[in-house]
Amino acid sequence: MFLCFIRVTITYIFQVQFIFMEIQVFILLIFSGITFAAADLSKEKCPPGCVCRKRDVKCYALTDFPVNFPPLTTYIFMDEMNIQTIPPNSFLGLEFLNTIEFQRSNFGSISTCAFKSIQSLEKLIFFKSVIGHLDKFAIFNNTGLSTIEILESKITKVSPFAIATLDNIASFSVEDTTIYDLNTMSIVNVSGKELSIVGSVFKTVHYMPFVFGRFSQVKILNNTFEMLPCGTIDNLLVAAVDNNPLITGNAIMCDCGISYIHKIRDEKQKELLNNMYCLEGGVINSQRIVSEALSSSLPCDQKNKATLTKCRTQEVRKIPTLVCPSYSHGGVYKSTENKNGNSASSLSSCVTVLILTIFVSL
């Protein structure tokens, strides 16, 4: 409003040329306009609790998810955050954002479409972090995303469609991470070069967690799958395009929950099982492999019998329609905030240009 008033004054002054009184008043106005714009910019400059330097933003130990990142930000690093949720559209308007890195942080959930509309995003890293829920479409349709790293972290629940529609992945790695509940169709339509799952613990993996995706290199090493029901082993192989995945050193619980393995005919799957160790009392028994366990009778309790009878064998044949829902931005996040940021900076440069013009005409 104020800046608009200055513009009106300028037009007026051009009409009544060289009236010095008015020019003085005008210059005063211009200068107060500059301070106004500058104050506004510095407020916009960096989210509270973060440090902004060049095009990097680093945030430490916050309990609310920061808003108003500077529009030119390329790198966001967050350390020791303790946050209920990463809301939808959290990084909207950051057209140059290349890398987001979370470290030693605790998130109740990562919302649906949290990373929406950052096509420039190439790297997403979680290190020593704890995530409650990875909601559906949490990481979805980031066309530039090439690296996803989840390292030494814990995720309670990966919802169906949590990671979806990414086809440019150079490296997707999960290392030394515990995932408690990996749902059916958690990872959908995700493809690329290398998928590597190393040294991780999967408490429960549901039927077909991974669908409609292909990786040219698959490494699944030294993981434990505490519950690996029917329809998951074959799924581990589905991802591998090269037909030569490196799947070794993994362990699964050798109780009657894996009796379905007797029925497996596929050679590749059998081979995979011969490479798997038995988990006994939560510990890998490196002397005992699954195929050997199967030749003796497997210990059965009622719970395991139930999972056994529930074994499903149908495939998911058709990819459902995946679209980010639209949000009305109430509460913490307001989509207009980035727009204001842009207009404030463009207005201030517009004022600067105008001063130069005036001095020339004087």
Ligand X SMILES: *[C@@H]1O[C@H](CO)[C@@H](O)[C@H](O)[C@H]1NC(C)=O
Residues contributing to the site for ligand X (CB under 6 A): 119, 141, 143, 165, 167, 189, 198-199, 221-222, 249, 319, 321-324
Closer residue to ligand X in complex, CB, 41/238: 238
Nearest-approach distance from CB 111 to ligand X, in angstroms: 16
* Residues 6 or more apart in contact with residue 221 via CB below 8 angstroms: 196, 197, 198, 199, 246, 247, 248, 249, 250
Q: Hey, what are 90's tokens? A: 């959290």
Give the span between the Cα atoms of 213 and 200, in whole angstroms.
21
Minimum distance between the CB of residue 67 and ligand X, rounded to whole angstroms?
Answer: 21
Q: Cβ closer to ligand X: 28 or 323?
A: 323
- Residue 78 or 195: the one with the smaller Cβ distance to ligand X is 195
**Euclidean distance between CA atoms 249 and 220, whole angstroms:** 8
Structure tokens at 352: 């600067």
User: Which residue, 102 or 277, is less far from ligand X as judged by CB?
Assistant: 277
Q: Smaller CB distance to ligand X: residue 164 or 261?
A: 164
Quick one: how far is CA 31 from the chain centroid? 44
CB of 342 to ligand X, least distance (A): 19
CB of 268 to ligand X, least distance (A): 21
Torsion sign across C-alpha atoms 32, 35, 38, 39 = negative
State the Cα angle at 300 between 228 and 198, rounded to 5°. 25
| Shortest Å, Cβ 248 to ligand X | 8
What are the two backbone dihedrals, phi and then psi, of residue 52, each rounded to the nearest 5 degrees? -115, 125
Nearest approach, Cβ of residue 347 and ligand X (Å): 28
Nearer to ligand X, 51 or 323 (CB): 323
CB 66 within 8 A of CB 90: no
Unique residue bearing structure tokens 């009184």: 21
